[in-house]
Structure 1
């Protein structure tokens, strides 16, 4: 996770491009959803502003990209967060401010008393 603007970004962009090339996929209607680390990846794809329709994160890390300018994103963002999640170190207020600065269309749902991995049965 330390190299979110290098190798991880390269791999995420390659995955999106592979999906967009599938004959049954409308390349303008691609989104991303992820849980935990995948949630961080979905949020980073929104931050890269590559034309995804939506990015949804469930109990994902909220930390911003390291050492990057906060540029606008056209990707709609939805975050589902456990209020009692001790694994997420970035304050929710900082994430919300990042989304405002990125002029994002975003929604944030916090689930009271929910811990990390709250979607697992």
Structure 2
């Protein structure tokens, strides 16, 4: 199969994938439109293989990393969804109680990448919980296409409540200091914004390219915010000016960064939308932010 250079791909391909990944078009329509860009020796199959996540070759911190204690735990859904499964990860042999971070997945369940992100945060000295909102439907099914289909069957506010319950689980964990923040990506970015609205005890929120909360609820935000956006992410960025205006009008503590030439999903290093420079800068800022506000 011909090796594809990311820089040779028409930007419209990434927009198509974004629409498909967010359930704006069916798979058949996505493939039909993608075929327009299968030129110059490229095939639809090679484009599909290129643009889809590659988890197996891009795990940074493995689940059995000897420096961490990582396990699967369960806690109760507050909306009658039963037990929610989550990855709990923390440094091995840590001295004293640790600050906590809730790690919120995208719109496809707890896939290998987000579980990896939870472990990356644990490596930085935090106890992290990474829930799988698809647990009531059997959990992440092993691929993102089916994961998106499953997640679309759940009510997003019920899932929000499941992540708030994860906050409470972590806050009350014997190994946690009680100072807990949240970081989320895409759908998880919206959850992070909404947890800042809903959870008065939240100490910090870091939405990566996440949808905004209702502007009338901005006055309820108590946690400091660190917001990350990709410059090319027109869909999410459209709501930012009004959100920023509301944050300013209500004198909220926030910091926002728009990363040049970066797409939606720029932090996800398993897809070609990944932007190495932007991702590393954003993650470094995120860890520094949590160390400041959760200590």
TM-score, normalised by the number of residues in structure 1: 0.81
Partners of 1:76 and 1:25 in 2: CA distance: 20
Partners of 1:116 and 1:48 in 2: CA distance: 25
Is 1:13 the equivalent of 2:129? no
Partners of 1:89 and 1:56 in 2: CA distance: 16
Is 1:87 the equivalent of 2:87? no
**Secondary structure, counterpart of 2:176 in structure 1:** coil
Offset from partner CA, 1:51-75 (integer Å, 9 cap, x none): 11100011222x2238x54424220
Q: CA deviation at 1:36?
A: 1.1
Contact 1:73 1:103 in 2 (8 A): no
Match of 2:185 in 1: 35
Partners of 2:255 and 2:217 in 1: CA distance: 22
Is 1:107 the equivalent of 2:217? no
Gaps of 5+ in 1: none
Is 1:26 the equivalent of 2:174? no
Offset from partner CA, 1:20-60 (integer Å, 9 cap, x none): 11101111x10000111111111111111421110001122
Match of 1:45 in 2: 195
Contact 1:72 1:102 in 2 (8 A): no
Contact 1:72 1:104 in 2 (8 A): no
Q: CA deviation at 1:3?
A: 5.5
Q: Which runs of 4+ in 1 moved over 4 A?
A: 1-4
Q: CA RMSD in A?
A: 2.4
Match of 2:94 in 1: none
Gaps of 5+ in 2: 1-151, 270-295
TM-score, normalised by the number of residues in structure 2: 0.36
Partners of 1:77 and 1:9 in 2: CA distance: 18
* Greater per-residue helix proportion: 2
Aligned residue pairs total 117
1:90 to 1:74, Cα distance in 2 relative to 1, 3 A: same
**Secondary structure, counterpart of 1:26 in structure 2:** strand
Offset from partner CA, 1:5-31 (integer Å, 9 cap, x none): x4234222211111111101111x100
Contact 2:164 2:199 in 1 (8 A): no
Q: Aligned match of 1:64 in 192, 196, 213?
A: 213
